[in-house]
């Protein structure tokens, strides 16, 4: 709280020094604007639809990234084929993908696709690493006791990979949220946070720009907090000791 208070004080001092709301509004002015926005139905519709679009892309990335990780670990040819694609997605600017995607798909689907594309490499790499780090000795134990494919999957592979998967979820959520909102600012789907940010910028409503940005940051923090809380509950179930006990 003291750190937060320090940076709010810095912000307030900068606003007082510039003394132009068009450039830097005061924290109090931004808080007033945000309070006004929260009371409107348009705010919640924009937030709800933005969350829906981005969460759809995030969920799709979790599914496709996991499947690709399994395939590329099992088949070397697929890894050789898909590795360049992975490097391109990780290296290319998000704006380039947004502009190209606008040519290919409908405007409302662009934020979903961009969120999917940004999270996909994170999930892919983490799950692949988890699969490659499954304890060989535990595999041998499973083979000796003839676990079978289903039991080996549920009792050994999934618990061993889950910490890597949960880490990918936590790291990927922030990327999904930021890239999804950035895509909305460029493609301007109806009833979205990005469109509201763009409209505020066009009309030079700087306090509203700050207020929408604050809303994005707060929503991101809430989502990450909920995901971290879920992760901390699940993680003890998938520690190495828990896996050893399960196989043993």
The pLDDT tens digits for 29-44 are: 999 999 999 999 999 9
Per-residue pLDDT band for 225 (boundaries 50, 70, 90) equals confident
Q: How far apart are the first and last CA of the chain?
A: 46
Within-domain flag for 18: no
Average pLDDT over residues 229-246: 60
On whether residue 166 sits in a domain, the answer given is yes
Residue 3 in any domain: the answer is: no
Predicted local distance difference test score (pLDDT) of residue 117: 92
Distance between CA 185 and CA 208 in Å, rounded?
Answer: 14
Provide the pLDDT confidence category of residue 232 given band limits of 50, 70 and 90.
confident
60: tokens are 């799709």
Neighbours of 18 (CB within 10 A): 12
Domain contains 19? no
Count of structural domains, the chain: 1
Over the stretch 162-183, which tens digit does the pLDDT of each residue have?
888 888 988 898 889 889 999 9
Closest to 238 (Cα-Cα) out of 138, 164, 131:
164
Spatial distance between the Cα atoms of 81 and 65, rounded to a whole number of angstroms: 15
Query: What is the chain's mean pLDDT, rounded?
Result: 84
Residues near 218 by Cβ (< 8 Å), separated by ≥ 6?
none
Q: Domain containing 155: what range? A: 26-247
pLDDT band (50, 70, 90) for residue 154? low
Residue 6, in any domain of the structure: no
Query: Given a cut of 90, is residue 115 above it in pLDDT?
Result: yes
**Per-residue tokens: 175:** 């990327």
What does the pLDDT average to over 17-37?
89
Is residue 162 in some structural domain? yes
pLDDT surpassing 80 at residue 135:
no
What does the pLDDT read at residue 235? 62
Q: Cα–Cα–Cα angle for 108, 57, 213, nearest 5°?
A: 70
Give the CATH number for residue 168: 1.10.3720.10
pLDDT tier, 242 (very low <50, low <70, confident <90, very high otherwise):
very low
41 Cα distance to chain centroid: 26
Residue 237 has pLDDT above 80, yes or no: no
Confidence of residue 79 (pLDDT cuts 50, 70, 90): confident
Domain contains 240: yes
Q: What is the pLDDT of residue 100?
A: 86
Q: Vertex 228, ends 225 and 233: CA angle to 5°? A: 130
- Does residue 30 fall inside a structural domain? yes
Nearest CA to 114 among 124, 104, 129, 125? 104
Spatial neighbors of 84 by CB under 8 A, at least 6 apart, are none
Dist CA 70 CA 20 (whole Å): 55
243: confidence class by pLDDT, cuts 50, 70, 90:
very low
């Amino acid at each position: 709280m003291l750190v937060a208070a320090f940076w709010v004080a810095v912000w307030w001092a900068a606003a007082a020094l510039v003394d132009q709301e068009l450039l830097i509004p005061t924290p109090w002015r931004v808080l007033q604007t945000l309070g006004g926005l929260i009371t409107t139905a348009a705010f919640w519709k924009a937030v709800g639809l933005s969350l829906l679009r981005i969460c759809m892309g995030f969920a799709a990335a979790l599914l496709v990234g996991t499947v690709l990780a399994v395939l590329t670990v099992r088949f070397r040819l697929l890894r050789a084929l898909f590795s360049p694609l992975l490097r391109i997605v990780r290296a290319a600017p998000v704006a380039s993908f947004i502009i190209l995607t606008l040519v290919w798909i409908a405007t409302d689907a662009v934020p979903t696709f961009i969120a999917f594309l940004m999270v996909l490499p994170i999930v892919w790499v983490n799950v692949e690493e988890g699969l490659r780090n499954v304890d060989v000795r535990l595999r041998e134990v499973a083979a000796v006791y003839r676990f079978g494919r289903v039991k080996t999957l549920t009792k050994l592979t999934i618990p061993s990979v889950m910490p890597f998967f949960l880490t990918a979820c936590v790291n990927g959520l922030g990327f999904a949220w930021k890239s999804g909102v950035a895509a909305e600012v460029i493609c301007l789907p109806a009833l979205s946070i990005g469109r509201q940010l763009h409209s505020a910028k066009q009309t030079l409503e700087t306090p509203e720009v700050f207020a929408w940005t604050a809303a994005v940051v707060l929503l991101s923090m809430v989502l990450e907090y909920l995901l971290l809380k879920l992760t901390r509950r699940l993680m003890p179930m998938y520690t190495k000791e828990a896996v050893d006990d399960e196989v043993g």
